[in-house]
Amino acid sequence: MPDKVLVTREIPEAGLQPLQGYDLTVLSEAPPERDELLEAARGASGVLSNVTEKIDAEFMDAAGSGLKIVANMAVGYDNVDVEAAKERGIVVTNTPGVLDETTADTAFMLLLAAARRLGESERTLRAGEWEWWGPKLFVGVDVWGKRLGIVGMGRIGQAVARRGKGFGMEILYHNRSRKEDAERELDARYMGLEELLQTADFVSIHTPLTDETQHLIGADELGKMKPTAVLVNTSRGPVVDEAALADALVNGRIFAAGLDVYEEEPKVHPKLLERENAVLAPHIGSGSQETRDRMAVLAAENIVALLSGKEPKTPVNQ
Ligand code: DGY
């Protein structure tokens, strides 16, 4: 009998190929209801999950003692209870390295759009309300030559910094540990979070969501930023206090924000939805076909490796 593998959402075809020899269940395109998810997990040896599914102790127990691997199709894995998995001897894998450049493109796209008021001006044009060219119309702030502050200088943070370098920006960063390679390669200057917030013209967040980074950017931190500054978040919503950010945008405490992630996706704080100076994307950071293919294949290959007695390529808890 082939092992049972559950894929919790429809994924690119490329990711299903390696799983063909298994007893494969693929759920729907939309996130499954909890009951459906728990039911489908029963008896699975491997699960290919997405960020929309809570893979907690209840899920693992529903799957049963045969569950050996949860392969999350994302670099972030805050939706998986890694401790509960460890206690049950379940390996958890993620998809690092294959989505850095695409996610960095998204961060830079949001940065440019927020700086140059693209969302607001495009909405005006589409509404048929663009009446004339004007010397003061939709005037934004320059990106080139400014200071880019990266919070979390991992692979994605460094990829964003490289884009900033291409725009002639000065790179500042804050990270748990110094990144000497990045300092050499990108001329990046390390600083404490407070100093970075006070100094940077653009702040781009690239930390994982952990107990320490929950609301890392709140009212106090936003209060330290320049009134002309732009905040970009493509990491996880709860790293930024969304209500405090909405207030900062309402009060002109900062110039603009570019967001791809939210505290309670798919809900977005109503005040943010009203703000012209917020560019809001629906969690599309890694959303290119090529990258989604790579993520799906890596997740699937991790399952195949583990179920055939080999080491998965990208475990998070081994
Ligand atoms: C990730 O990889 O963590 C993204 O948020 C999902 O694409």
Distance 227 CA to ligand 1 centre (A): 30
Q: What is the pLDDT of residue 45?
A: 98
- Is the residue at 257 inside a domain? yes
Q: What is the pLDDT of residue 151?
A: 98
Domain containing residue 214: CATH number: 3.40.50.720
Domain span including residue 198: 100-280
Residue list, ligand 1 pocket, CB within 6 Å: 51, 74-76, 99, 285-286
- Active-site positions read 236, 265, 283
Please tell me whether residues 245 and 104 are part of one structural domain: yes
Please tell me whether residues 109 and 249 are part of one structural domain: yes
Which residues, given as ranges, of the chain have pLDDT below 70? 318
- Is the residue at 209 inside a domain? yes
Please tell me whether residues 218 and 90 are part of one structural domain: no
Distance 304 CA to ligand 1 centre (A): 21
Nearest-atom number in ligand 1 for the CA of 261 is 5
Which residue CA neighbors atom 2 of ligand 1 most closely?
A: 74
Residue whose entry in the numeric block shows the structure tokens 């977005």: 268
Which residue CA neighbors atom 6 of ligand 1 most closely?
A: 74
**Number of domain units in the chain:** 2
Contacts 24+ apart (CB under 8 A), 220-225: 221/193, 221/194, 221/197, 222/248, 222/253, 222/254, 223/248, 223/253, 224/194, 224/197, 224/198, 225/197, 225/198, 225/200, 225/253, 225/254
pTM above 0.95, yes or no: yes
State the CB neighbour count (10 A cutoff) for residue 226.
18
Nearest-atom number in ligand 1 for the CA of 235 is 5
Q: What is the pLDDT of residue 317?
A: 77
Please tell me whether residues 89 and 171 are part of one structural domain: no
Which amino acid, residue 303?
A: I
Q: What is the pLDDT of residue 318?
A: 62
Please tell me whether residues 94 and 206 are part of one structural domain: no
- The pick from 51, 53, 92, 291 for probing ligand 1's pocket by mutation, whose C-beta has the most ligand atoms within 8 angstroms, reads 51
Which residue CA neighbors atom 4 of ligand 1 most closely?
A: 74
Please tell me whether residues 91 and 234 are part of one structural domain: no
- Is the residue at 65 inside a domain? yes
Q: Which two tokens stand for residue 54?
A: 């809570």
Nearest-atom number in ligand 1 for the CA of 99 is 2
Q: What is the pLDDT of residue 307?
A: 98
